[in-house]
């Protein structure tokens, strides 16, 4: 979810803008070159390619994080039935001249940590947690700055952040999986599941997935903003949220406008179709099989830790803590209004596992992944970021990137996979003034530097 409190920034960011039988193995592949008996090297695929990586079987490999000291630290291990991410041979015999390091080393870890520290200091950011997964499955994690200013609590690898609209990637992947199972069809009208919503018979689930429904964003309302901010501790129900939706932007299928309401409705449709909660479905289908132990859907689950970062609004010189005294991030009312459009919390390492599996071909089959990354239906409407099903395509440091960004008050997040290199980068921050694309670009440049 992308939202800026009007009281803190007159140029309110209402939606997505610029800078701003399933027994399949969980990990299949991240496509890249393998030199037998030698170090893994990376070969660049054709520029602009959006073809999913073909599946490949193998033996599970633990994922480890290497801190700047060079000491390996276990972060997560795929479930026993899972398969690790494996490089796939290509016809290109040599890596590109500017290829990033394909293997994690102490030197690479040191460069990444230095880039992270520089980004935080240069942007006067409160705190950052980052993770990078390499093609061989190795993971670097790094942190810089403060999670809670009161008491100067530092960010750690286990600190939870609000991930905002990155939550949409879980809901989109779930919709695609349920469609493959036949539980739902993406061509189904919304009225099949939410018959009382206005014009629901003319809106399809696919139009919810890629924001072509025309439904107004729940946060595109001054009155809704006031209601959220007037009582930060309030717990909103989905019915209460949907009752506040304004008039549509356009007729279904005739435009593109990023709207969090689409994913609130999509979550409700999935829960109606399955008679299960989004939290239980995401946990059983994705989180547990991938070993993601630090990710929760706040509106439906009790978070099993108090290791939160607090979100900060206003300015770097006068930060205002919006999370103090709250049970959810960034605060109860916004988390519950966002719901399935942005209510998840996670760590950088968990999200890095998720992105590597999702975009590397270990979560969705080839057809499902191809559907997710297909941005052609939204391209005619020139979105700031070409958009698929819970999917954004971007260019970062001159490299193609697949993923999603997220924002709720006081938090910005970015989760990107570089398909030409098989590398995943996740950035989580806890202040309103972060430009996560700039921070991500600095880490990419650190990887590209010789």
Task: Report yes or no on 72 lying in a domain.
Answer: yes
DSSP state of 29: B
- What residues are paired with 320 via a beta bridge? 313
**Could you tell me the two tokens for 330?**
């960034």
Dihedral pair phi/psi, residue 417, rounded to 5°:
-120, 130
Per-residue pLDDT tens for 1-58? 444 333 333 333 333 333 323 333 333 333 333 232 323 333 333 333 333 323 323 3
Task: State residue 108's pLDDT score.
Answer: 92
Task: Report yes or no on 197 lying in a domain.
Answer: no
The answer to whether residues 175 and 270 touch, using CB atoms and an 8 Å cutoff, is yes
Task: Report yes or no on 48 lying in a domain.
Answer: no
Task: State residue 340's pLDDT score.
Answer: 98
Tell the residue number behind the tokens 């990023």, with chain if given.
258
Q: How far is CA 365 from CA 20, 27, 148, 285, in A?
A: 30, 11, 41, 14
Task: Report yes or no on 1 lying in a domain.
Answer: no
Rg (CA), the chain: 21
Closest CA to 267 of 208, 218, 317, 221: 208
Task: State residue 312's pLDDT score.
Answer: 98
| Number of domains observed in the structure of the chain | 1
Strands (E), 95-138: 127-133
Contacts (Cβ under 8 Å, ≥6 apart) of 55: 28, 29, 361, 365, 366
CB-facing half-sphere around the CA of 173: CA atoms within 13 A: 28
Task: State residue 219's pLDDT score.
Answer: 95
The answer to whether residues 160 and 153 touch, using CB atoms and an 8 Å cutoff, is no
Task: Report yes or no on 385 lying in a domain.
Answer: yes
Task: Report yes or no on 252 lying in a domain.
Answer: no
The answer to whether residues 32 and 102 touch, using CB atoms and an 8 Å cutoff, is yes
Alpha-carbon gap, residue 291 to 356, rounded angstroms? 13
The answer to whether residues 63 and 138 touch, using CB atoms and an 8 Å cutoff, is yes
Task: State residue 63's pLDDT score.
Answer: 40
Indicate the pTM of the whole model. 0.81
CATH number of the domain that residue 162 is part of = 3.40.710.10
Task: State residue 101's pLDDT score.
Answer: 58
Alpha-carbon gap, residue 427 to 348, rounded angstroms? 7
- Residue 48 region, left (φ>0) first, then alpha (ψ -120 to 50), else beta? left
Alpha-carbon gap, residue 439 to 414, rounded angstroms? 9
Alpha-carbon gap, residue 328 to 312, rounded angstroms? 14
Alpha-carbon gap, residue 52 to 363, rounded angstroms? 12
Task: Report yes or no on 260 lying in a domain.
Answer: no
Length of the chain: 450
Task: Report yes or no on 145 lying in a domain.
Answer: yes
Residue range of the domain that includes 350: 63-167+293-448
For 139, the enclosing helix (H) or strand (E) is strand 139-148
Per-residue pLDDT tens for 157-180? 999 999 999 999 999 999 999 999
Contacts (Cβ under 8 Å, ≥6 apart) of 96: 42, 43, 44
Average pLDDT along the chain, 450 residues, taken 10 residues at a time: 39 32 33 31 32 30 37 33 30 41 84 95 95 95 97 96 98 98 98 97 98 97 92 97 96 98 98 98 98 98 95 96 97 98 98 97 95 98 97 97 98 97 97 95 90
């Amino acid at each position: 979810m992308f939202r800026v409190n009007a009281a803190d920034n007159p140029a309110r960011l209402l939606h997505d803008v610029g800078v701003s039988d399933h027994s399949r193995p969980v990990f299949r592949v991240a496509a890249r070159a393998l030199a037998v008996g030698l170090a893994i090297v990376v070969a660049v695929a054709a520029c602009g390619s959006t073809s999913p990586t073909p599946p490949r079987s193998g033996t599970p490999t633990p994922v480890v994080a290497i801190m700047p000291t060079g000491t390996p630290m276990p972060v997560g291990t795929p479930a026993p039935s899972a398969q690790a991410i494996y490089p796939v041979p290509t016809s290109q015999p040599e890596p590109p001249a500017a290829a990033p390091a394909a293997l994690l080393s102490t030197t690479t870890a040191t460069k990444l940590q230095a880039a992270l520290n520089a980004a935080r200091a240069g942007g006067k950011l409160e705190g950052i947690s980052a993770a990078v997964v390499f093609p061989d499955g190795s993971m670097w994690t790094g942190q810089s700055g403060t999670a809670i200013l009161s008491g100067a609590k530092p960010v750690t690898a286990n600190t939870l952040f609000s991930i905002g609209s990155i939550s949409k990637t879980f809901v989109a992947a779930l919709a695609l999986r349920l469609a493959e199972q036949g539980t739902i069809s993406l061509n189904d009208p919304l009225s099949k599941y939410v018959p009382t919503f206005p014009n629901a018979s003319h809106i399809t689930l696919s139009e919810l997935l890629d924001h072509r429904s025309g439904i107004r964003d729940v946060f595109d309302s001054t009155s809704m903003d006031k209601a959220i901010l007037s009582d930060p501790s309030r717990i909103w129900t989905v019915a209460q949220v949907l009752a506040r939706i304004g008039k549509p932007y356009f007729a279904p299928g005739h435009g593109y406008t990023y709207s969090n309401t689409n994913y609130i409705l999509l979550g409700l449709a999935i829960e109606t179709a399955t008679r299960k909660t989004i939290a239980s479905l995401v946990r059983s289908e994705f989180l547990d099989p991938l070993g993601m132990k630090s990710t929760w859907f706040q509106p439906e689950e009790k978070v099993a830790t108090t290791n939160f970062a607090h979100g900060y609004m206003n300015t770097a010189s006068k930060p205002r803590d919006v999370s103090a005294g709250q049970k959810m991030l960034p605060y109860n009312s916004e988390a519950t209004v966002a719901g399935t459009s942005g209510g998840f919390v996670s760590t950088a390492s968990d999200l890095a596992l998720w992105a590597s599996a999702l975009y590397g071909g270990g979560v969705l089959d080839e057809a499902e992944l191809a559907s997710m990354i297909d941005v052609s239906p939204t391209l005619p409407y020139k979105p700031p970021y070409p958009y698929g099903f819970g999917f954004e395509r971007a260019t970062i440091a001159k490299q193609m990137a697949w993923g999603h960004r997220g924002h709720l008050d006081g938090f910005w997040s970015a989760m990107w996979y570089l398909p030409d290199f098989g590398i995943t980068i996740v950035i989580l921050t806890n202040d309103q003034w972060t430009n996560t694309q700039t921070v991500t670009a600095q880490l990419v440049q650190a990887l590209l530097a010789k």
